[in-house]
Structure 1
Amino acid sequence: MKAKKYLLFFLLGYCIYIAIEVTYRGYSFRLMGIAGGLSLAGIGMLEDAGLRRFPLAFQMMVSAVLITAIELYSGMFSLRVLHYRMWDYSALPFSFCDGLICLWFFGIWYLLSVVGIFLTDYVSYYIFHEGTHPVYRKKKKGCAEGEFVIK
Structure 2
Amino acid sequence: MKLSQLLFSFLMGYFCYSLVEIVLRGYTHWTMCLTGGFVMTILYAINSRRTMTLMKSCALGSLLITMIELAVGIFDNIIMHWNVWDYSNMPFNFLGQICIPFSAFWFVLCIPARLICKHISARFCNKKAVPIVSEQPM
Fold-level similarity (TM above 0.5):
yes
Give, in whole Å, the separation in 2 of the partners of 1:95 and 1:41.
26
More helix by percentage:
2
* Residue 84 (structure 2) aligned to one of 83, 86, 93: 86
Identity %: 30
When Rg is computed on C-alpha atoms for both structures, the one with the higher figure is 1
CA shift in 2, pair 1:75/1:134, >3 Å: same
Using structure 2 for the length normalisation, give the TM-score.
0.88
Listed as ranges, the matches of 1:111-122 within 5 Å are: 111-122=108-119
Aligned positions, number? 135
Q: Which segments of structure 1 move beyond 4 Å, counting only runs of 4 or more?
A: none
Using structure 1 for the length normalisation, give the TM-score.
0.81
Over residues 108-146 of structure 1, what are the superposed CA-to-partner deviations in whole Å (9 max), with x where a residue is unaligned?
010011111110111111x10167741336xxxxxxxxx
Q: Match for 2:98: what amino acid?
A: I
Moved more, 55-64 or 77-86: 77-86
What are structure 2's unaligned runs of at least 5 residues? none
Q: Secondary structure of the residue that 1:53 maps to in structure 2?
A: coil
Q: Secondary structure of the residue that 1:58 maps to in structure 2?
A: helix
Give, in whole Å, the separation in 1 of the partners of 2:107 and 2:127.
25
Q: Match for 1:45: what amino acid?
A: A
Q: Match for 2:130: what amino acid?
A: P
Whose RCO is larger (CA < 8 A, sep 6+)?
2
**Residue in structure 1 matched with residue 47 of structure 2 by the alignment:** 47
Listed as ranges, the matches of 1:92-111 within 5 Å are: 92-96=90-94, 98-111=95-108
Give, in whole Å, the separation in 2 of the partners of 1:130 and 1:62.
27
